[in-house]
C-alpha cells in the first residue's frame, strides 16, 4: 500500500520546522490520508550530512508520494535535485510540493519541477554573489576583519627564538606546518627555519 511521506527542512538551528510540518499535515488531512514526516535542520546547498533526507529516500517505496512545501526544501543545487529526481523516478516514487505546481506523476508537473530546480540553483548563486559583494564592501570600509586568528603569534615567536623548526612548532601548537610558514613569511621571521 502506498504511503504519503513528508519532508521538511530549514537551514539553521534557530529556524523552526513547525510551519512546514503543519502545512504537510494539512495537505495529508485534506486527502484524508496519514503522513509520515522526516524533518531536519541542515543547509540545502548539498545533500551531504542530510541524514533525514537519506532516511526518507531509503524508506520510500514504489507508489509512495513524497510531499514537501517547496522544491528548495529538497535541494538548492540543480545537480542534487537531479540526483534526487532520478532516485525517485527509478524507485517509482512521486513528488508533490504543496506551494508549487509540482506533481511528478504528470508530464507538466515534471517539467515544472525541473524548471524550479534551475531557479533554486540560480537563487543560491545570486545569494552567494551578494554575500561576497557585501564582504568586499565591508573590507573596503575597514569593517570586515575576517575570522578571529587561531594562531598564537607570541608562542610561535617564542618557539622560533628557542630554535624550534616549523614542523616541531606545528606539532606543539597543533596547527598546520603551512600555517607556521605563512605566519613567519608575513612577519619576516623566515630566517632560522
Q: For this structure, is 11 an active site residue? A: yes
CA distances (Å), origin 42, targets 11, 17, 165: 5, 11, 42
Please report which helix (H) or strand (E) contains residue 8, including its range: strand 4-10
Contacts of residue 61, Cβ cutoff 8 Å, sequence gap at least 6: 2, 3, 91, 92, 93
- For 68-103, letters b (16+ CB in 10 Å) and e give bbbbbbbbbbbebbeebbeebeeeebbbbbbebebb
**Under a CB-based contact definition with an 8 Å cutoff, are residues 42 and 103 in contact?**
no
> Out of 11, 43, 101, 105, which one is annotated catalytic?
11
Catalytic residue positions, numbered: 11
Amino acid at each position: 500500500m502506498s504511503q504519503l511521506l513528508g519532508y521538511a527542512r530549514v537551514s539553521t538551528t534557530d529556524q523552526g520546522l513547525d510551519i512546514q510540518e503543519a502545512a504537510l499535515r494539512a495537505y495529508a488531512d485534506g486527502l484524508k490520508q496519514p503522513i509520515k514526516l522526516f524533518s531536519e535542520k541542515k543547509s540545502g546547498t548539498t545533500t551531504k550530512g542530510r541524514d533525514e533526507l537519506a532516511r526518507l529516500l531509503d524508506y520510500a517505496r514504489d507508489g509512495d508520494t513524497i510531499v514537501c512545501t517547496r522544491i528548495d526544501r529538497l535541494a538548492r543545487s540543480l545537480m542534487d535535485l537531479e540526483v534526487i529526481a532520478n532516485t525517485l523516478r527509478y524507485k517509482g516514487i512521486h513528488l508533490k510540493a504543496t506551494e508549487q505546481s509540482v506533481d511528478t506523476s504528470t508530464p507538466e508537473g515534471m517539467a515544472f519541477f525541473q524548471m524550479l530546480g534551475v531557479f533554486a540553483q540560480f537563487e543560491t548563486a545570486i545569494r552567494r554573489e551578494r554575500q561576497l559583494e557585501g564582504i568586499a564592501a565591508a573590507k573596503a570600509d575597514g569593517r570586515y576583519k575576517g575570522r578571529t586568528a587561531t594562531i598564537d603569534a607570541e608562542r610561535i615567536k617564542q618557539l622560533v627564538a628557542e630554535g624550534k623548526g616549523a614542523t616541531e612548532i606545528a606539532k606543539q601548537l597543533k596547527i598546520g606546518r603551512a600555517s607556521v610558514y605563512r605566519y613567519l613569511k608575513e612577519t619576516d621571521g623566515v630566517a632560522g627555519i
